[in-house]
């Protein structure tokens, strides 16, 4: 039944196994360890000869259901949950790279992913090259004999550039490389990288999957043998486990994922179109506005995050963000509340200024995560903040 479910149904029922008590809602197994009826059972479970819970760092029935649900939604054989999105990214790389290997990572990665690959991995003897996956000739030229893996986001955070996955996967297969895609911005309802041949999909479940801004979590989806290593070795030994309570909150949040994403995306498109015509906005970045944007093929919609380049300097961009009233000044996305952040000084501040500029992250770039408020109120809030920026620019120009 699970494999045939529509995704809108799967977010509610996928992976659910009715408890013996008959509880409609997935029980919260809030326990660190599990008792064995006898030593023979305990030994058999540790030896892998018998299934059953042992210790929550190794697995928990509540977390197990979350893993089954995201695997079904992504079309994966299996999935593994982690204590954060960054734990999921780090575990995926550590499971598939070792000293002497080479990684190709996308230019413009989320700031902490960038720090991980440029500062932490080299400490363990792993080489890293940053490449623009929009230029596959340059990507292929960067492949070395020791290259093992490609890591990318699409859309890219924060300027929302999209990469066609089919040619990237074809290139990776020619060179026998693994591909890892961060699918946080899209969710499996809007994009399924595994269906395009990608090997591993990563999510920050903190965002849309939970949807309420009260959980930190990560998920990895892929082939069963790869997930077994992540679960039985990497997560077990490094300990980046997701608490069962947080898994329960994500399961609850996922039940409304389909209706939330519909509202998020509809409002984001309206906001993007509105901002396109404002004289203080130099450019709007949103996949739904581009002609060649993979909609209807790779992506079902443009998502709920957009960025705008202001006709303003660094300080005027900060003043714009501070002026907003309904948009909360905070990093993250996927919450009911609309959020605004300034990438150059916040999420992408780990980048050196010249690297940030090369990645298309200017001092006047603002990222908006569109929430669930009425879109007319969001537009009014943006208009009043832009009007204040226009007045500030005109005043400073007159003073000169």
Q: What pLDDT is recorded for position 1?
A: 44
Residue 289 CB: number of other CB atoms within 10 A? 17
Catalytic residue among 45, 148, 161, 207, which?
A: 207
3-state secondary structure (DSSP) of residue 178 = strand
Q: What pLDDT is recorded for position 400?
A: 54
Residues 6+ apart with CB under 8 A from 267: 304, 370, 371, 372, 373, 375, 378
Q: Which helix (H) or strand (E) holds 321?
A: helix 314-323
Domains in the chain: ranges and CATH:
2-254 (3.40.640.10), 257-399 (3.90.1150.10)
DSSP tag of 295: B
* Span 208-231, pLDDT tens digits: 999 999 999 999 999 999 999 999
Catalytic residue among 64, 101, 132, 182, which?
A: 182
Residues 6+ apart with CB under 8 A from 211: 253, 254, 256, 257, 260, 334, 335, 336
* pLDDT for residue 197 is more than 50: yes
**Quick check: 79 and 220 in contact, CB under 8 A?**
yes
Q: What pLDDT is recorded for position 97?
A: 98
C-alpha 124/C-alpha 142 separation (Å) is 21
Q: Strand 305-310's sheet: what is its strand order?
A: 281-285, 305-310, 365-369, 339-341, 328-329
Q: Which helix (H) or strand (E) holds 151?
A: strand 147-153
Spell out the alpha helix ranges (H) of 149-243: 165-174, 187-190, 224-229, 236-238
Number of H helices, E strands in the chain: 15, 12
Question: Nearest-CA neighbor of 321 among 377, 286, 367, 276?
Answer: 367
* Span 284-295, pLDDT tens digits: 999 988 756 688
Q: What pLDDT is recorded for position 46?
A: 92
* pLDDT for residue 321 is more than 90: yes
Q: Is 182 a catalytic residue?
A: yes
Which stretch, 9-18, 137-146, 349-358, has highest mean pLDDT?
137-146
Task: State both tokens at 383.
Answer: 């208009």
Q: Strand 147-153's sheet: what is its strand order?
A: 78-82, 218-222, 200-204, 178-182, 147-153, 102-106, 127-131
What is the share, in percent, of the chain residues with pLDDT greater than 70? Answer: 96
* Phi and psi angles of residue 171, each rounded to the nearest 5 degrees, phi first: -65, -45
Q: What pLDDT is recorded for position 399?
A: 53
Q: Is 57 a catalytic residue?
A: yes
3-state secondary structure (DSSP) of residue 200 = strand
Residue 90's alpha-carbon distances to 120, 185, 292, 343, in angstroms, are 10, 18, 32, 22
* Span 235-265, pLDDT tens digits: 999 999 999 999 999 999 999 999 999 999 9
Average pLDDT, the chain: 93
C-alpha 300/C-alpha 333 separation (Å) is 19
Catalytic residue among 2, 55, 57, 252, which?
A: 57
Residues 6+ apart with CB under 8 A from 25: 252
How wide is the angle at C-alpha 35 spanned by C-alphas 33 and 36, nearest 5°? 135
Q: What pLDDT is recorded for position 357?
A: 75
* Span 167-191, pLDDT tens digits: 999 999 999 999 999 999 999 999 9
pLDDT band per the 50, 70, 90 thresholds, residue 4: confident
Residue 193's alpha-carbon distances to 221, 265, 291, in angstroms, are 10, 19, 21
Q: Is 110 a catalytic residue?
A: yes
Catalytic residue among 64, 110, 199, 208, which?
A: 110
């230029």: which residue's tokens? 135
């Amino acid at each position: 039944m699970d494999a045939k479910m529509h995704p809108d149904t799967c977010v509610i029922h996928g992976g659910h196994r009715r408890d013996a008590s008959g509880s409609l809602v997935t029980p919260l197994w809030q326990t660190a360890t599990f008792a064995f009826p006898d030593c023979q059972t305990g030994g058999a479970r540790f030896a892998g000869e018998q299934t059953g819970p042992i210790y929550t760092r190794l697995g928990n029935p509540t977390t197990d259901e979350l893993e089954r649900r995201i695997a079904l939604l992504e079309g994966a054989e299996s999935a593994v949950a982690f204590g954060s999105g960054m734990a999921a990214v780090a575990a995926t790389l550590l499971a598939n790279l070792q000293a002497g290997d080479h990684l190709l990572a996308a230019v413009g990665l989320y700031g902490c992913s960038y720090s991980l690959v440029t500062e932490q991995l080299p400490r363990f003897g792993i080489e890293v090259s940053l490449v623009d996956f929009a230029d596959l000739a340059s990507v292929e030229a960067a492949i070395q004999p020791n290259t093992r893996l490609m890591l990318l986001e699409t859309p890219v955070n924060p300027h929302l550039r999209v990469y066609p996955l089919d040619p990237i996967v074809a290139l990776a297969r020619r060179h026998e490389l693994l591909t890892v895609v961060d699918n946080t911005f899209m969710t499996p309802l809007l994009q399924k990288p595994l269906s395009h041949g990608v090997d591993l999909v990563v999510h920050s479940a903190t965002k849309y999957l939970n949807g309420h801004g009260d959980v930190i979590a990560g998920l990895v989806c892929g082939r069963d043998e790869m997930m077994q290593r992540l679960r039985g070795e990497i997560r077990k030994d490094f300990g980046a486990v997701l608490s069962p309570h947080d898994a329960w909150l994500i399961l609850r949040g996922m039940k409304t994922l389909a209706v939330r994403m519909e509202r998020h995306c509809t409002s984001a498109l309206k906001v993007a179109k509105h901002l396109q015509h404002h004289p203080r906005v130099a450019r709007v970045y949103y996949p739904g506005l581009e002609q060649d944007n993979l909609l209807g093929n790779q992506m079902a919609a443009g998502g709920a995050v957009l960025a705008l380049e202001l006709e303003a300097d660094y300080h005027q961009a900060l003043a714009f963000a501070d002026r907003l009233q309904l948009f909360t000044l905070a990093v993250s996305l996927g919450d009911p509340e609309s959020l605004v952040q300034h990438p150059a000084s916040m999420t992408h501040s780990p980048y050196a200024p010249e690297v940030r500029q090369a990645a298309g992250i200017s001092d006047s770039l603002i990222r908006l995560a569109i929430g669930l408020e009425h879109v007319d109120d969001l537009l009014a809030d943006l208009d009043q903040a832009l009007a204040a920026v226009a007045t500030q620019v005109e005043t400073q120009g007159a003073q000169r």
